[in-house]
Amino acid sequence: MSIQDFFISLLLIAGLILLGKWIRRRIGILRKLFLPSSIVAGCIALLLGPHVLGRFFDPASDWSQGLWSEPILDIWSSLPGGLISVVFAALFLGKPLPGMRKIWAKAGPMVAHGQALAWGQYVVGISLAIFVIIPIWNTSPLVGALIEIGFEGGHGTAAGLGDTFRELGFADGADMALGLATIGVVAGVILGTVAINWAVIRGHLDPPDRSALEDEALAEHENREEPVRNSISDQAIEPLSIHLGLVAVAIGLGWLILQALVHIESALLIPLGWPELFSHVPLFPLAMIGGVILQSLSGRLGYSKLIDRTLMNRISGSALDILIVAALGALSLAAIGDNMGPFLLLALAGIVWNLLGFFVLARLMFPKDWAPNGLANFGQGIGMTVVGLLLVRMSDPQNRSGAMEAFGYKQLLFEPVVGGGLFTAASLPLIYQFGPLPVLIGTTLVMLAWLLFGLWKFGGFQKVVGR
């Protein structure tokens, strides 16, 4: 592996993204499924690699790796662990951080429903691991966290946790999580479209504007904020360079926080018999906290308007595109094949739980406009944030329900914890150190707390019962 190999690997990814974009525009079904070009490009990289194209050649042949050399595949497999920190560090940079009262007033029901749905994915996954998967297939108990990591977290989180899976002795888990993430995106769009048509027929939604279904930009970018006019502009230094520096500062703050936690754990908790946890927690959720701290400080010092949110979206989006292509290109189909039984069972259970979350829980927990609000959380719960945004746009293109705004505010109280947040990253070492049963009990209690709170606080339950 050399600097030249690294440079070539990035050029190959860029070329694959361009090819994926061209193929996506030429093949209608890919546009109708709203698959991002990066996922199309990653699938192409996978097909041209050792697990598909390489299988047609003798193992001793130079073509046994497909079109990609071993150094290129090694670089691709290592890229996600670093790039995911860039994605999460930029998540809140340039976004105004409103007060808790405003967030809760706008997004309280959305937060309660989304949290119940996310924690329920752990309950379903770990329950299956304890009572079905481990007794039948004798696999790692870490399999119980895969639904939340793959569906709620998406490709970025699944790839970013690859090193943690390997450190904890379940390397196949990263490939399974990436496979679940891909299934989640496709299932989210297809089932979400079916749910929208059902809701229209039943009178829960007005017939949506069909032009919203052709909004290709939604599949490429999760956010489309307007540019900030008072952005940094310096003739001596490009704004992009400065914003990359801000991302680096956020990642640095996250690294300092993580190192402090590791040292505190080593000095105080481990001698008291507390198992080692923070040394297995990846950097990216702390990088997100570093971004929140940096954004808060810039607001207090009067510099927040100098951070261009659109440029931050470009940085985050580019990092995510490269991450997805690299992760899918280095994906091991053999790992999924070796765990096909647990993989299919988790995929089916995750889909059923998210459908239950929309058709049952959303009706109970949202006091009004339950369909567009429920679709937002259904989309994010099964296929990451971009699918949630897509389904809101499809079901309520004029944003009459306010679901789009509530969904955006919800992320401030959601993503720091689950969906790629602190608990998502900590769930693997927690299961590894304490076993699946204590984590199942804890996640069940948290899920029930959010569920009961949402039913009691927002009155949707009384409305449904009173009909």
What count of other Cβ atoms lies within 10 Å of the Cβ of residue 99? 8
Cβ neighbours around 363 below 10 Å, total: 16
- What's the alpha-carbon Rg for the chain, to the nearest Å? 22
Start-end of H helices in 232-338:
239-264, 284-300, 309-329, 333-338
User: What single DSSP character describes residue 357?
Assistant: I
Residue pair 50/293 in contact (Cβ under 8 Å)? The answer is no
- Report the alpha-carbon distance of residue 178 to residue 327 in Å, rounded: 8
Distance CA 313, CA 95 (A): 10
Identify the three-state secondary structure at position 86.
Answer: helix
Provide the token pair at 347.
């995929």
Using pLDDT thresholds of 50, 70 and 90, give the confidence band for residue 444: very high
Judged by average pLDDT, the poorest of 17-21, 32-36, 344-348, 407-411 is: 32-36
Look at residue 129 and tell me whether its pLDDT is greater than 90: yes
Q: Residue 394 has what pLDDT?
A: 77
Q: Band the pLDDT of 301: cuts 50, 70, 90.
A: confident
Residue, of 272 and 78, whose pLDDT is higher: 78
Give the whole-angstrom CA distance, residue 421 versus residue 380: 14
- Is the confidence at residue 220, as pLDDT, over 50? no
Report CA 45 to chain centroid distance, whole Å.
21
| CA–CA gap between residue 104 and residue 89 (Å, rounded) | 24
**CA 400 – CA 410 distance, rounded (Å):** 18
- Neighbouring CB atoms inside 10 A of 94's CB total 24
Distance, in Å, from the CA atom of 374 to the CA atom of 113, rounded to the nearest integer, reads: 8
Single pTM value for the model: 0.81
Report d(CA 97, CA 78) in Å as an integer: 33
Rounded Cα distance between 35 and 318, Å, is: 16
Alpha helix ranges (H) inside 48-99: 70-89
pLDDT at 270: 64
How many C-beta atoms surround the C-beta of residue 442 within 10 A?
Answer: 17
Residue 235: CB atoms within 10 Å: 5
